[in-house]
Amino acid sequence: MSGTSYKAAGVDIDAGNETVRRIKSIARGTFTAGVLSEIGSFGGLFSLASGGWADPVLVASADGVGTKLKVAFLAGVHDTIGRDLVNHCVNDILAQGATPLFFLDYLATGRLSPDVAEQIVKGLAAACRENGCALLGGETAEMPGFYADGEYDVAGFIVGAVERARLVDGKSLVPGDVLLALPSVGLHTNGYSLARQIVFERLGLGVDSHVAALGETVGAALLRPHKSYLRPVQPLLAAGIVKGLAHITGGGLTDNLPRILPEGTAAEVRRGSWPVLPLFAWLAEAGQVALDDQYRAFNMGVGLVVAVAESEVARAGALLAEAGETPHRIGRVVAGSPGVIYA
């Protein structure tokens, strides 16, 4: 009886080494002054000393891309997934006012393809550079029999910092404060289980199907990367005028706005006060999705909500406009139990 090997069992160590070789140079291009280690170390090293922090609070988050990955598999497009992951995580810690310091990723697959892994990491690295954070390290796991051939899962872990005195936690929000919405560019990374059911099962479309109502293919519309709001919001944070930030992800406006509201307050949101992207209207009509479900499954065209005092609305609008953003005044904080009241 002949022997067996790790490769015969489905794990190709050589492919793993080739993947690490390709990743090293890509990741090194994201390194900032705080990075003290190289890719391939058992742990990533990062120093806060280079940042000039006085009283820093570390802010951390972890997330994934969800079933948007299924669309990437169908389209054979993998470089946008990395951007999705980094930008989602950046926005999550931005909600506390944090600046990203470093990012780590976890990639698991049934059979490791260095080409696919390289595409994913290129997307990660590009987004890290754009957000000024280092791709400090990660893990690539080959798990035969656990994932279908050609499929993978990817998760991201981010650490940022904010001066304790500048921490954004929503505790100072009071009735009368204004809610400004920054537009999304699509589904971002949420609502894909519903969207895929509508598009691929109910309508029977493919990723290359052109949709007149959208002016593009299904794949292009669904794979548009999650947007980072770090750059446009930083001037507002520096000015000290942000009272609360809500990243509109899973659960939509309905579930995410209450996360920043103090006891005794609610969010009053005026539907129709911002432009809803054609994608959401098309999905809602094609799937006959109830209005309440739309606002919990999808972001409905709002990627981030910035809460400011009424007296700071003009200044916030001007700073956002300088950064290329078009904010929409969508509502206000009112007295009540934490929740969203749609008007």
Domains 13-166 and 178-342 agree in fold: no
Cα separation, 32 vs 22, in Å, equals 19
Cα separation, 58 vs 164, in Å, equals 9
**pLDDT score at 39:** 87
Burial class (CB in 10 A: 0-12, 13-18, 19+), 299: buried
Rounded average pLDDT per 10-residue block, the chain, 343 residues: 63 77 90 92 92 95 97 97 98 98 97 94 98 96 91 97 97 98 98 98 98 98 98 98 98 98 98 97 98 97 98 98 97 96 96
**pLDDT score at 2:** 58
CATH class of 178-342: alpha beta
Structural fold of domain 13-166 = 60s Ribosomal Protein L30; Chain: A; (3.30.1330)
**pLDDT score at 14:** 78
Q: Of 191, 200, 201, which is closest to residue 219 (Cα–Cα)?
A: 200
**pLDDT score at 191:** 97
- Cβ contacts of 269 within 8 Å, gap of 6 or more: 179, 253, 257, 330, 331, 340, 341, 342, 343
**pLDDT score at 6:** 63
- Please, where are the H alpha helices in 176-275? 192-196, 218-222, 230-239, 252-256
**pLDDT score at 10:** 67
Query: How open is the CA angle 12-14-19, to the nearest 5 degrees?
Result: 100
Could you list the beta-strand ranges (E) of the chain.
56-64, 99-109, 134-142, 152-163, 178-183, 210-211, 216-217, 244-247, 265-269, 302-308, 328-335, 340-342
What are the boundaries of each domain within the chain?
Answer: 13-166, 178-342
Partners of 32 in the β-ladder: none
